[in-house]
Structure 1
Amino acid sequence: MSPAHRHGPRGVDLSREEAWVLHAAVLDHAERTVAAGRDPAQAVAVLDRIEAGERLDETARTVAQDALETYLESAPERDRALADEIRAALGAQASSSQ
């Protein structure tokens, strides 16, 4: 029997589609950071954690939630409900880790 596949960071139950939206939002955040002449290291670190399936600490969750909020301003319609669901899942992870 093969192990169950998990999508996105550990501790957040995301569908494959939600994981892609989270990835797209954080990548967009990193690109906007570069375009603004700022260092994208924090956003890139969050992106690396998402891709590796690692748990997001409080700072990383905040970066991801901020990225999702900004992404919602220009996200394709198909991604908007998913982005809201991801923000709720990240908020629930924060509540359960406190």
Structure 2
Amino acid sequence: MSPSTCHGPDGVDLSREEAWVLHAAVLDHVERTVEAGRSPDRGVAILKRIEACEPLDPADRAIVRDALATYLPDAPERDRASARAILAALDGQASSSQ
């Protein structure tokens, strides 16, 4: 049996490219948090969950949405469609769980 491939957090179906964009957006969030003099612990924990293919709780998803929304305007052109797709996937996940 071949190992399953993980592209981002459990419950959010992402392509490899989208997973990289998600990682970049959350890493950018962590860097901005540090620059603001705040603890990056929550963002780092979210990055670890994303990398380990673990699910994100509602608070994690809110932080990820904020990170993507902040990343999107200044993101490289190649990342923008993926960032929008991830936001749509997260919004769809939130809608289906209500």
TM-score, reference length from structure 2: 0.94
- Whole-Å Cα distance in 2 between the matches of residues 58 and 2 of structure 1? 31
Residue in 2 that maps onto 1:32: 32
User: 2:39 is aligned with what amino acid?
Assistant: D
Note the aligned Cα RMSD (angstroms).
1.0
Match of 2:80 in 1: 80
Alignment-derived partner of residue 54 in structure 1: 54
Unmatched runs of 5 consecutive residues or more in structure 1:
none
The CA deviation at 1:78 is 0.3
Q: Percent identity?
A: 69
Partner of 1:10: 10
**How far apart are residue 5 of structure 1 and its match?**
1.6
**Number of residue-to-residue matches in the alignment:** 98
Distance of 2:56 and 2:33 partners within structure 1: 20
Q: Which secondary structure does the structure 2 equivalent of 1:73 belong to?
A: helix
TM-score by length of structure 1 reads 0.94
Per-residue CA distance 1:4-34 (angstroms, 9 max, x = gap): 4231000000000000000000000000000
For residues 69-95 of structure 1, what are the alpha-carbon distances to aligned partners after superposition, in whole Å with 9 as ceiling and x for unaligned? Answer: 010121000000100000010111112
> 5+ unaligned residues in a row in structure 2: which ranges?
none
Q: Give me the whole-angstrom Cα distance separating, in 2, the residues matched to 1:41 and 1:91.
A: 24
Please list every run of at least 4 consecutive aligned residues from structure 1 whose deviation after the TM superposition is greater than 4 angstroms: none
Partner of 2:22: 22
Query: For 1:44 and 1:5, how far apart are their aligned partners in 2?
Result: 22
